Structure 1
Amino acid sequence: MTDTLTTDTLTTETQATDAAAATYADRHGTRHPLPDLDADARVRADDRAHVFHSWSAQALIDPLPIAAGEGSTFWDYAGNAYLDFSSQLVNLNLGHQHPDLVAAIHAQAGRLATIQPSMANDVRGELARRIAEVAPGDLDKVFFTNGGADANEYAVRMARAVTGRRKVLSMYRSYHGGTATAISLTGDPRRWANEPSDGSVAHFLGPYAYRSSFHAESSEQETERALAHLEQVVTLEGAGTIAAIILESVVGTNGVLVPPPGYLEGVRELCDRHGIVYIADEVMVGFGRVGEWFAVNHFGVVPDLITFAKGVNSGYVPLGGVVISQRIASHFDTVAFQGGLTYSGHPLACAAGVATFEVFERDGILERVRDLGVRVVEPRLRAMAERHPSVGEVRGLGLFWAIELVRDPASREPLVPFNASGPDAAPMAAVAAACKRAGLWPFVHFNRLHVAPPLVISEDDLVRGLDVIDRALDIADGYVAS
């Protein structure tokens, strides 16, 4: 699949594009040519005066007004085109304005725009069935939420209800959402300012071979020692007090950390031995991101609960959920589940989800992601690692990769410090700015560039985006100790 709006006119060091190649529709459906600087000014003024943005110091940001998007590209009102190498927030798996998803939402709105969750609905039921059919093992029931954070909240609530225990373990290098329990589960610095919240959460160190906390010299040692550490945490926290262990199947924002062979299987065994519920957080990596419906399928592991959102319908209408094993679901056969949401399984969102399944099956999306990951992305990133001294490691699966940047390849000192901001973050800001000047919108976190384009990106655009990153790494190389 190729983008309908061409971006062939992008230059390498400017954001210039043929303005006649793109137009945008206003909220009345009237189309206007780009650039439109008056519209840019209006959108920017309303945003700065009235929109309160997440995770931001409000006076220190200047959000870019976006006019249009199609396929793997979006445009600002100045007419600049950006290749979306972050899939927005790693959710836009089928790209901007996919015609099948737009048509499904339009058709559903025309026949039944909404209905409360206590009633049965055709697209809600069909989407739940389709999800159950691709989930591993006996995960046959789906509880729908509005997004990933509340999916994790409800998964924890289910685990606590079934086990009668309170405590939950999660990794330090993790992000599970911004609501009360979800931010407590989160291991990264976004948790700090929100403490105390849910006091029944404890954290542990997960595997990270490049920066091993366990002094491992091989993936086998990393698995063995990381599991031994987790078992020690379980012992010291009290196995009989622990309701659940929640893991991102592949750690997302905090590093695209692919678990070494045997690690997830070891977590499964540990949970079984102690009666602990295993929750797989697949909010970011589910629905094709690594070339599988769910990333756990790649590792051959069956958790008790899987949480999802993002790629289930590319975020066209907010949707998330929990896929539930028979053991967990049966607990609530005669005991009421104490939870619910007004918009659980919203028909517009579910219609886009059903269309997502149809597109995946018709267009061979999973097979395509695996092919592009192995044939295009991995060899190109490994070549960059050989050529650029600033690249400490590349790692990933499918269309989900991280390029970890360092100042010193020998000591592995990060290009910027952990949780850097302001002047300390300048080197990564310079790399990101070079990408944007060349017409690519990157995903940057701490000392890493993440490669996470829409799964429908054309091979030509994928290669072009990797070319942009390759050139931007020259800037990172300038910070490497000589």
Structure 2
Amino acid sequence: MIKNKITYNSFSDYQFKVTKAKDSFIWDDKGNKLIDFTSGWNVTNLGWNNEEIKKAIIVQAKKNIYSSMWLADPIQEEYASKLTGSLPKPLSTITREVTGVTANIMAIKTARAYTGKRKILSFRDTFHGSLYQTLQLGYAPEYPISKAIFLNFKDHIQLKYPRVNYEDKNEKQILNNFLNEVENIFKNDKEIGAFITEAGIITGWGSTFIAPKGFLTEVRKLTKKYGVLLILDEVGTGFSRTGKLYGMNHENITPDIVTFAKGIGNGSTIAATVTTQEIAEKTYLKSNPQSTFGWSPLNVAGALRTLEIHQRDKVWEKAKFDGDYIIKTLRNELKNISYVEDINGLGMEIGIRLKSGLKNFNMIKFIEIARSKGLHLANADSYSFQLMPPLTIERDILDNGLEIIVDLFNSFNY
């Protein structure tokens, strides 16, 4: 769709104009106040227009708003120290990125430069960014967009995600089957340089795709065994969203490379690719880590305050508590809705997946009705909703949003 000279795609099509946003609410151009259950897709984890973050940006604006790629503003070095200080010790070196897609492309460049191998192992039906190099990681060859822009999958191997549904009794078997598949690939293909994955959940495809317990631990063991670099995409899982400060903390693993964006700045445009000193020293002359607008001091000020708030308030603890509450509430209230297939998630990254093939279910209509009742929702595809409220949302507001969802499912004619 093209609306008011701006082009939107079918996934993130134009919905309405936002005239105001604050904490867990957004207002449209008709004055309607909406409870937000999207956080701009895991961006405003600390609420829209967080006052502390705004003040930090204003203070920095009075000092300096830009630093070129061969210079360093003092706040950039301060933030680099604090961000790496929040990570496992080997992860100590950062490239200054702008968005999640540039962070993931830098991770791929770094892995290839370090290993001398081109092939990347990833998961089908995942999203690591909208540019050519990252679409090849998760988009299948038969997708219309893959054909339209001539994606090249020669150097990519895509796996089916080892998904565990709610009440699955064979979780260990799912994990073992997956690990056997990965090990066979590593044994038979010596040209794989890296394996990229999110931290135990797919945040861009409905969020009911949850990996078995032990997934991160066992994948880390296999990548070490076969000399394959592990790239952890924490663009969606980082900054308390899944109930830990970072997704890697769920199983206390250390990847070779990790990427951050979205919630890293709570709306400030900033991203980061973090790796070890050894990898950085051997690759920086080959991987070309430069960006004209990477880490604008204004955005770094926002990111620095964001990290400080997460650490000070232990936001991840509330995210886990409220996330468990959301899942329990929805599973109980929607247990008699025959077309709901799965309700699952980690922390406050939660998906409601419907049974595929519902002939008369209209996802767009469902979302529009929810909005008319005061709730802003996001859908991942034609059969799944993704619930991502701000992690700071108050319980009464959260309950109001959940009540709208439950009432809609109980009354919606599909």
Taking structure 1 as the reference length, what is the TM-score of the superposition?
Answer: 0.79
Contact 1:404–1:448 at 8 Å: present in 2 too?
Answer: yes
Is 2:289 the counterpart of 1:339? Answer: yes
Aligned to 1:229: 181
Taking a change above 3 Å as real, the CA distance of residues 343 and 203 of structure 1, as seen in their structure-2 partners, is same
Aligned to 1:381: 330
Contact 2:106–2:287 at 8 Å: present in 1 too?
Answer: no
Aligned to 1:456: 392
For the residues of structure 2 that align with 1:322 and 1:244, how far apart are their CA atoms? 15
Q: Deviations over 1:421-466 (max 9, x none)?
A: xxx6843223222311211111212211111101111111111111
Shift in Å, 1:345: 1.6
The equivalences for 1:204-223 within 5 A come to 204-210=159-165, 218-223=170-175
Aligned to 1:371: 321
For the residues of structure 1 that align with 2:35 and 2:398, how far apart are their CA atoms? 9
Identity of aligned residues (%): 26
The equivalences for 1:149-168 within 5 A come to 149-168=101-120
For the residues of structure 2 that align with 1:120 and 1:279, how far apart are their CA atoms? 26
Match of 1:221, SS state, is helix
Aligned to 1:195: 150
Aligned to 1:73: 25
| Aligned counterpart in structure 1 of residue 269 of structure 2, from 300, 313, 318 | 318
For the residues of structure 2 that align with 1:206 and 1:111, how far apart are their CA atoms? 47
Aligned to 2:96: 144
Contact 1:205–1:229 at 8 Å: present in 2 too?
Answer: no
Aligned to 1:25: none
Taking a change above 3 Å as real, the CA distance of residues 192 and 291 of structure 1, as seen in their structure-2 partners, is farther
Unaligned ranges ≥5, structure 1:
1-46, 407-413, 417-423
Match of 2:44, SS state, is coil
Match of 2:129, SS state, is coil
Aligned to 2:249: 297
Contact 1:183–1:194 at 8 Å: present in 2 too?
Answer: no
For the residues of structure 2 that align with 1:415 and 1:474, how far apart are their CA atoms? 19
| Aligned counterpart in structure 2 of residue 52 of structure 1, from 1, 4, 7 | 7
Greater shift in the superposed pair: 184-193 or 202-211? 184-193
| Aligned counterpart in structure 2 of residue 397 of structure 1, from 342, 346, 353 | 346
Q: Deviations over 1:195-223 (max 9, x none)?
A: 324631221112112399xxx85100110
Aligned to 2:66: 114
Aligned to 2:371: 436
Shift in Å, 1:336: 5.4
Larger Rg: 1
Contact 2:95–2:273 at 8 Å: present in 1 too?
Answer: yes
| Aligned counterpart in structure 1 of residue 49 of structure 2, from 67, 76, 97 | 97
**Amino acid aligned to 1:365:** V
Unaligned ranges ≥5, structure 2:
none
Q: Deviations over 1:9-67 (max 9, x none)?
A: xxxxxxxxxxxxxxxxxxxxxxxxxxxxxxxxxxxxxx73421224579xxx6541111
Match of 2:7, SS state, is coil
Q: Deviations over 1:281-307 (max 9, x none)?
A: 111111110122210111222111111
Match of 1:342, SS state, is coil
Aligned residues: 408
For the residues of structure 2 that align with 1:262 and 1:165, how far apart are their CA atoms? 27
For the residues of structure 2 that align with 1:53 and 1:267, how far apart are their CA atoms? 37
Shift in Å, 1:230: 2.2
Is 2:36 the counterpart of 1:84? Answer: yes
Taking a change above 3 Å as real, the CA distance of residues 450 and 62 of structure 1, as seen in their structure-2 partners, is closer
Shift in Å, 1:386: 2.1
Higher relative contact order (Cα pairs below 8 Å, separated by 6+ residues): 2
| Aligned counterpart in structure 2 of residue 356 of structure 1, from 292, 306, 324 | 306
Taking a change above 3 Å as real, the CA distance of residues 434 and 55 of structure 1, as seen in their structure-2 partners, is closer
For the residues of structure 1 that align with 2:40 and 2:175, how far apart are their CA atoms? 32
For the residues of structure 1 that align with 2:410 and 2:28, how far apart are their CA atoms? 27
Taking a change above 3 Å as real, the CA distance of residues 475 and 151 of structure 1, as seen in their structure-2 partners, is farther
Match of 2:335, SS state, is helix
For the residues of structure 1 that align with 2:243 and 2:112, how far apart are their CA atoms? 32
Greater shift in the superposed pair: 289-298 or 303-312? 289-298
Match of 1:202, SS state, is strand
For the residues of structure 1 that align with 2:14 and 2:293, how far apart are their CA atoms? 32
Match of 2:3, SS state, is helix
**Amino acid aligned to 2:155:** S
Contact 2:203–2:236 at 8 Å: present in 1 too?
Answer: yes
Shift in Å, 1:134: 1.7
Aligned to 1:248: 198
Greater shift in the superposed pair: 154-163 or 433-442? 433-442
Aligned to 1:42: none
For the residues of structure 2 that align with 1:229 and 1:201, how far apart are their CA atoms? 16
Taking structure 2 as the reference length, what is the TM-score of the superposition?
Answer: 0.92
For the residues of structure 2 that align with 1:453 and 1:193, how far apart are their CA atoms? 34
